[in-house]
Amino acid sequence: MYLYQDAISIIKTFEGFNEKAYPDPVTGSDPYTFGYGTQFYPDGSQVKQGHCCTKEKALEYLLYEVNVIAEEIDKLNLEIDLDMKQGLISFIHSIGWDSFLYSPIIDLCENENYAQAAQEFGKWIFNEEHEVIGGLLDRRRQEACLFLDLENLPGNLLLKAFRNYSASPEQVAAIRQLETEINPYILSEFANKFNVTYSGDFDLSEEDLRFIFEFQK
């Protein structure tokens, strides 16, 4: 068991293991990646075309990268616990340190606005064509849940809420509050799954909601 086991598990799950170095999908060449998302060796040299690694070496490189990220996070002197730190480790491993530094997450954490910081994770889910990448969407969700310590919430919580929907004023207010809190891109993806038109002001009618809830039963 490693100190940052949860972060390592997320990274390994979504990066997968690649024995042979593969090129960047955008450039078709550098940077090359192998193992569990490794692009640089511990000595700073770059992974190149034709390079290979074993699972044992891949884990060794990953542990080194995770510890480096953890040390850099410590230098920021943020008031965060271990779970929050692990959420950040996986997130930074995915987007890169420079991108993280230019995000608003550090300022939000310094102001202890952790819920808003977690929402920022959801903005990093697109490819070069601004299309949502399903794997990134799932990864950001896991990172945000770890960051906010939501791992112990009961499963299918939203479905259970849907099934208990009765259009009471309190429930409608709760749904509208949820709409304001969810990342608009994720909300749009949700709407697309149910063929609901999104025009900037996402608004499900009671009939739409009743259809969704009945559909999920």
Would you say residue 21 lies in a domain?
yes
Q: Give the domain-ending residue among 97, 128, 147.
A: 147
* Mean pLDDT value of segment 44-55: 97
Rounded mean pLDDT, 4-13: 96
How does pLDDT run across 152-176, given as a tens digit for each residue? Answer: 555 566 766 777 778 788 888 888 8
Average pLDDT over residues 115-140: 86
Q: Which of 92, 118, 86 is nearest to 8 (CA)?
A: 86
Domain assignment present for 152: no
Answer whether residue 25 shows pLDDT above 50. yes
Residue 196 within any structural domain of the chain: yes
Clarify whether residues 125 and 172 are in a common domain.
no
SS3 48: coil
Amino acid at 78: L
Q: What is the pLDDT of residue 215?
A: 44
How large is the angle between the packed helices 134-147 and 5-15, nearest 10 degrees? 170
Which of 147, 177, 198 terminates a domain? The answer is 147
Residue-level pLDDT at 128: 75
Average of per-residue pLDDT values in the chain:
84
Same-domain status, 163 and 211: yes
Domain span at 139 = 5-147
pTM attached to this predicted model: 0.72
Convert 143-191 into a string of H (helix), E (strand) and C (coil).
HHHHHCCCCCCCCCHHHHHHHCCCCCHHHHHHHHHHHHHCCHHHHHHHH
